[in-house]
Amino acid sequence: MITQIDVSRKPTKSLAGSEAIALLERFPARTRAADWPATMESREGVIERLGQPPLLQRRGVQGTRMAGARALLLWLESFPGGTWQQRWEASSAESSVISWTEEATAWARGIGRHPSLSSIQSGLLALICADVIRPSLSWFVANPSIHLRRAIQESRDPEGFARVESVASPDILRARWGSTALTIIAQMIGSLGGKVEDITVGDLLLRLQLTNKDRTRPVRIAYGWLRELQQFPSNAPTTLRNIAVRSGQVSPEALVDRYHLRCRPVRDVLVAYLTERQPNVDYNTLKNLSSMLANNFWADIEEHHPEVGSLHLPREVASAWKERLAMKTVSRRRPDGTVTKVLQPRHNAVGIKSAVRAFYLDIAQWAMDEPEKWGPWAAPCPVREVECSSKKSDQRQKTQARQRTRERLPVLPTLVRVADQRLKETTVRLNALNNAALGSTFTVLGEDFSVPPGSGRSGRRPTRAWDTSGKLRYLDAEERRAFFAWAAIEILRHTGIRIEELLELGHHSIISYRIPGSNEVVPLLQIAPSKTDQERLASCYPRTRRRTQRRGGASPPSRRNDCCSSKLRRERARLE
């Protein structure tokens, strides 16, 4: 039975990005120096150096740069500081993106100069190339310039950029992502000084934190180039892919603190308990244990009984907690689109009570061995042994699973037919898109599509098209989702493996078997041993084999996070 309620809980702190934070501690980014020779020069010295190679430009560009640089230097002299960098940081330019140029232009007009906005920007570029000022990385992110990369490359480190281009793929260099990656390297030099060889792992991690999560590819490309140049330590991460969202393995303190516990002593004993258990359990077990003890147990106690400040729970408090534990709060979408909070039975209530009981009993046992550390926290256990029996819940889950099977088995042929039909249709659409000319229109399966004039990727075909309603359809993504949905259904119905075993299938699960005598090669799907300790083999469909091979029959290298299992996980989440 579902009962509607109105409950507001403090949101749990996400662990996403914890791995990037931990890497920044291991590989700290460089900090901008307080002063350096170029920023301590006089105005006349800076102007003189701007007129000499490698900063000297052709006549038209040089005149614009010099006019803007003179106006900027005069404007910066109106701010306090002993160096140009100090004056830059004291001005509004460091914290502003657009308004500071108007302010500098207006100030210059007040002293009889009339620089244009473009000359001010050109003069600033000249001062950055001359290493007179070093804007912050966040300033570069908010104020991108299409001229920065070439200017920094020519004036600061042409040899370093040449080394980078020597290890980069020509296709990537010609693409937009490659050009942006080179610009990011130029930003590192312009903000932190030095040359390409001075860029560190921490510099790129810091730049990644300042990047929108949908635009991290150029940073990852730049990292891969510099890592290939072998200028990073051997223990540096192999890639920055998904590092902004990965949590990695965090400490017991971080696992507990994500629940914002108010009682500091209890928080400390939970951290100490998890630290004690950490050497003997795997990380997932430790993470689940922290959730049960810190969130399901103590955070709930604090929310409903804020006066409780120790593990010695009054009987009525313990009873009320167990009653609340039997139900959980979930979100449900109404027919009108609104979302409401409802209560429904909690299936793992017995497991949570077992973890709490083990927590109390462990502390009681440890208090006998280390009374000075654990003695103050020994308290009567609020959970009885009989309450930890899972016999009824196990039987209920088996009954529900069998009922679901009886309900779904009659429609299995329909599911198989629809999945196969959807895969065929998406494949036909994608093939039609690949065969259509750029900028043309084509009709397939009764639908009309318009092909973009280009893909934005050097040497690559477009993977999306507009339909008649003006909606942009990602036909490659539609085909990919249809394939992995079809693959998951076929594997499950032919093998009967558990969903956990399905998610463990990866790039290396497809093997080959050569039939003796005929020498015919048969592709097989290898299912690793799990609970049964038995390895299983199933023949692969030809379309599966073709999908994992490039031209010539070679299989491409797999990503660190296996692409097959990750796509199956996303498909499972979408279906749920």
Structure tokens at 146: 């299409």
Residue 147 lies in a domain: yes
Residue 186 lies in a domain: yes
The pairing of strands 327-333 and 521-527 is unpaired
Question: Can you tell me the distance from the alpha carbon of 50 to that of 62, in angstroms, rounded to the nearest whole number?
Answer: 9
The per-residue pLDDT for 393 is 80
78 and 131 belong to one structural domain: yes
The pairing of strands 510-514 and 447-450 is unpaired
Residue 208 lies in a domain: yes
Amino acid at 146: I
**Domain-ending residue, one of 194, 228, 262:** 228
Q: Are 49 and 343 in contact (CB under 8 A)?
A: no
Can you tell me whether residue 373 is helix, strand or coil? helix
Total domains in the chain come to 3
Question: Can you tell me the distance from the alpha carbon of 33 to that of 134, in angstroms, rounded to the nearest whole number?
Answer: 9
Residue with tokens 């593990």: 311
The per-residue pLDDT for 116 is 82
- Integer CA distances (angstroms), 50 to 40, 63, 84, 190, 553, in order: 15, 11, 15, 16, 56
Q: Are 76 and 87 in contact (CB under 8 A)?
A: yes
208 and 256 belong to one structural domain: no
204 and 258 belong to one structural domain: no
Where helices occur in 412-562 by DSSP H, the ranges are 412-435, 475-495, 499-503, 542-547
Tell me if the pTM is above 0.85. Answer: no
- Quickly list DSSP for 401-416: HHHHHHHHGGGHHHHH
53 and 171 belong to one structural domain: yes
Phi, psi at 291, each rounded to 5°? -65, -40
Which helix (H) or strand (E) segment holds residue 510: the answer is strand 510-514
Structure tokens at 232: 């990073």
Residue 12 lies in a domain: no
Can you tell me whether residue 535 is helix, strand or coil? coil
The per-residue pLDDT for 565 is 46
Torsion of CA 419, 423, 424, 428, to 10 degrees: 150
The per-residue pLDDT for 564 is 45
Residue 380 lies in a domain: yes
189 and 60 belong to one structural domain: yes
CB atoms under 10 Å from CB of 314, counted, come to 12
Where helices occur in 278-390 by DSSP H, the ranges are 283-290, 300-304, 315-325, 349-369, 371-374
Residue 87 lies in a domain: yes
Q: Determine the structural domain holding residue 371 and report its residue range.
A: 252-389
Can you tell me whether residue 532 is helix, strand or coil? coil
293 and 258 belong to one structural domain: yes
200 and 269 belong to one structural domain: no
Can you tell me whether residue 527 is helix, strand or coil? strand
210 and 258 belong to one structural domain: no
Structure tokens at 449: 């599509």
Averaged pLDDT in 10-residue chunks for the chain of 576 residues: 46 85 90 90 92 85 87 90 92 76 82 82 92 92 89 93 92 87 95 94 92 87 94 91 85 94 95 96 94 95 92 95 91 86 88 96 95 94 90 86 91 95 95 92 94 70 90 93 93 86 81 84 81 75 60 51 47 46
The per-residue pLDDT for 546 is 58
28 and 170 belong to one structural domain: yes
DSSP state of 46: H
Residue with tokens 């501690």: 25
Residue 297 lies in a domain: yes
Question: Can you tell me the distance from the alpha carbon of 253 to that of 451, in angstroms, rounded to the nearest whole number?
Answer: 53
Can you tell me whether residue 15 is helix, strand or coil? coil
Q: Is 488 exposed, middle or buried (0-12, 13-18, 19+ CB in 10 A)?
A: buried
Q: Are 473 and 449 in contact (CB under 8 A)?
A: yes
The per-residue pLDDT for 544 is 62
The pairing of strands 3-4 and 339-345 is antiparallel
Judged by phi (left if over 0) then psi (alpha if -120 to 50, else beta), residue 533 lies in left
Residue 218 lies in a domain: yes
Structure tokens at 51: 């007129």
Phi, psi at 250, each rounded to 5°? -95, 170
Amino acid at 488: A
Q: Are 131 and 193 in contact (CB under 8 A)?
A: yes
Helices 563-575 and 475-495: crossing angle in degrees, nearest 10, is: 90
Question: Can you tell me the distance from the alpha carbon of 317 to that of 296, in angstroms, rounded to the nearest whole number?
Answer: 14
User: Residue 487: CB partners within 8 Å, gap ≥ 6?
Assistant: 544, 568
Tell whether the torsion through CA atoms of 328, 332, 338 and 339 is positive or negative: positive
Can you tell me whether residue 399 is helix, strand or coil? helix
How far does Cα 280 stand from its chain's mean position? Answer: 29
Q: Are 527 and 512 in contact (CB under 8 A)?
A: no
How far does Cα 22 stand from its chain's mean position? Answer: 14
223 and 301 belong to one structural domain: no
**Domain-ending residue, one of 348, 371, 389:** 389
Q: What is the 3-state secondary structure (H, E, C) of 261-308?
A: CCCHHHHHHHHHHHHHHHHHCCHHHHHHHHHHHHHHHHHHHHHHCCCC
197 and 317 belong to one structural domain: no
Burial 154-183 (b: 16+ CB within 10 A, else e): ebbbeebbebbeeebeeebbebebbebbbb
79 and 113 belong to one structural domain: yes
Where helices occur in 146-263 by DSSP H, the ranges are 148-155, 158-167, 170-174, 176-192, 201-209, 217-228, 252-257
The per-residue pLDDT for 568 is 47
